[in-house]
Structure 1
Amino acid sequence: MNNIDITVINNYVQTVSHSSSYWMVRTMGGEYYNDFVENGFIAVGHNDILLKDINDILTNENTAMKNLRKIVANLHPDINRPGHVASQLIRFCHEIKPGDIVVVPGYSSFNLSICRVKSAVYEEPNIVEGNGRCPFMKRIDVDILKSTSRTVLPPKAQLMFNSRHPISDISEYAAYIDSTQFDFYNKDDETHIVLRIKTENEVDVSTFYEIQQLFILAELFCKENNIEDSAKDVSMKVQMESPGLLHFISKKKNILSTVGIIVLLINGGGLEFNNKDFQFKLKTDGIIKNVSEFLDRKTDREMRDKIKDSLDSLQINTPDDFQKAMIELYKTQNANRKAY
Structure 2
Amino acid sequence: MTKGRSFKINLIEEIIKELPKVDSNINYWLVRTNGGEYYEEFVNENFIGIGWNKITRERIKDNISIEDLVRENYKKESRPRYVETQILRFIEGIKKGDVVLVPSKNSRYLHCGYVISDDYYEADLPINDESAFEQLFELEEEGICPYRKRKWVKWIKPLSKDQLDPKLYLLVYSHHTITSANDYKDLINRAMFDMYIQDEKCYATFQIERAENIEARSLVTFLNSLIEVNKIKSGKDDLEIKISVQSPGLTEIIDNLYNIVWTCVVILSIIGGKVKTPFFQFESGGVVGYIEKYIKERKNEGKVPDNIREDLKSSSEELKMTQPSEFVKAIEKVQKKEKVKEFENTGEQEEKND
1:143 aligned to which of 132, 154, 166: 154
Residues 260 and 296 of structure 1: is their aligned pair in 2 closer, same or farther, counting only changes over 3 Å? closer
**Map of 2:249 onto structure 1:** 244
Report the CA distance between 1:4 and its aligned residue: 5.2
**Map of 2:349 onto structure 1:** none
The residue type paired with residue 214 of structure 1 is L
Instruction: Note the alpha carbon deviations across 1:89-127, whole angstroms, 9 max, x for none.
Output: 111111111111001112222321111111231111057
The unaligned stretches of length 5 or more in structure 2 are: 3-8, 127-138, 274-282, 346-354
Q: After superposition, where does 1:260-275 map in structure 2 within 5 Å? A: 260-269=264-273, 272-273=285-286
Residues 131 and 189 of structure 1: is their aligned pair in 2 closer, same or farther, counting only changes over 3 Å? same
Query: Could you tell me how far apart the structure 1 residues matched to 2:240 and 2:284 are?
Result: 28
The residue type paired with residue 170 of structure 2 is L
Report the CA distance between 1:231 and its aligned residue: 4.7
The residue type paired with residue 109 of structure 1 is S
**Map of 1:177 onto structure 2:** 188
Corresponding residue SS for 1:323: helix
**Map of 1:313 onto structure 2:** 318
Corresponding residue SS for 2:322: coil
**Map of 1:225 onto structure 2:** none
The unaligned stretches of length 5 or more in structure 1 are: 223-228, 275-279
Alpha-carbon contact 2:228-2:237 (below 8 Å) kept: no
**Map of 2:91 onto structure 1:** 93
Report the CA distance between 1:289 and its aligned residue: 3.3
**Map of 1:47 onto structure 2:** 53
**Map of 2:123 onto structure 1:** 124
CA RMSD of aligned residues (A): 2.8
Query: Could you tell me how far apart the structure 1 residues matched to 2:203 and 2:292 are?
Result: 27
Residues 299 and 121 of structure 1: is their aligned pair in 2 closer, same or farther, counting only changes over 3 Å? same
Instruction: Note the alpha carbon deviations across 1:216-258, whole angstroms, 9 max, x for none.
Output: 13423x2xxxxxx1354531122221222211111x2222112
**Map of 1:206 onto structure 2:** 217
Instruction: Note the alpha carbon deviations across 1:243-275, whole angstroms, 9 max, x for none.
Output: 22211111x22221122113322233466338x
Query: Could you tell me how far apart the structure 1 residues matched to 2:291 and 2:201 are?
Result: 28
Q: Which segment drifts farther, 255-264 or 84-93? A: 255-264
Alpha-carbon contact 1:208-1:310 (below 8 Å) kept: yes
Q: TM-score, normalised by structure 2?
A: 0.80
The residue type paired with residue 142 of structure 2 is N
**Quick check: 1:17 aligned with 2:15?**
no
Alpha-carbon contact 2:159-2:191 (below 8 Å) kept: no
Alpha-carbon contact 1:13-1:325 (below 8 Å) kept: yes
Alpha-carbon contact 2:19-2:197 (below 8 Å) kept: yes
Residues 32 and 262 of structure 1: is their aligned pair in 2 closer, same or farther, counting only changes over 3 Å? same
1:289 aligned to which of 285, 296, 304: 296
**Map of 2:72 onto structure 1:** 74
Corresponding residue SS for 1:16: coil
Report the CA distance between 1:5 and its aligned residue: 5.0
Query: Could you tell me how far apart the structure 2 residues matched to 1:283 and 1:95 are?
Result: 44
Alpha-carbon contact 1:271-1:281 (below 8 Å) kept: no
Residues 273 and 181 of structure 1: is their aligned pair in 2 closer, same or farther, counting only changes over 3 Å? same
**Quick check: 1:258 aligned with 2:262?**
yes
**Quick check: 1:104 aligned with 2:102?**
yes
Query: Could you tell me how far apart the structure 1 residues matched to 2:111 and 2:245 are?
Result: 24
Corresponding residue SS for 1:273: helix
1:152 aligned to which of 163, 166, 170: 163
The residue type paired with residue 333 of structure 1 is E
Query: Could you tell me how far apart the structure 1 residues matched to 2:175 and 2:220 are?
Result: 42
Alpha-carbon contact 2:115-2:151 (below 8 Å) kept: yes
Alpha-carbon contact 2:239-2:253 (below 8 Å) kept: yes
Residues 82 and 126 of structure 1: is their aligned pair in 2 closer, same or farther, counting only changes over 3 Å? closer
Corresponding residue SS for 2:48: strand
**Map of 1:217 onto structure 2:** 229
Residues 230 and 130 of structure 1: is their aligned pair in 2 closer, same or farther, counting only changes over 3 Å? farther
Report the CA distance between 1:288 and its aligned residue: 3.9
- Aligned-residue sequence identity (percent) comes to 28
The residue type paired with residue 173 of structure 1 is Y
Query: Could you tell me how far apart the structure 2 residues matched to 1:40 and 1:332 are?
Result: 30
Query: Could you tell me how far apart the structure 2 residues matched to 1:283 and 1:18 are?
Result: 31
Higher gyration radius (CA)? 2
Report the CA distance between 1:282 and its aligned residue: 0.5
Query: Could you tell me how far apart the structure 1 residues matched to 2:300 and 2:227 are?
Result: 14
Alpha-carbon contact 1:183-1:194 (below 8 Å) kept: yes
Alpha-carbon contact 1:271-1:283 (below 8 Å) kept: no
Corresponding residue SS for 1:289: helix
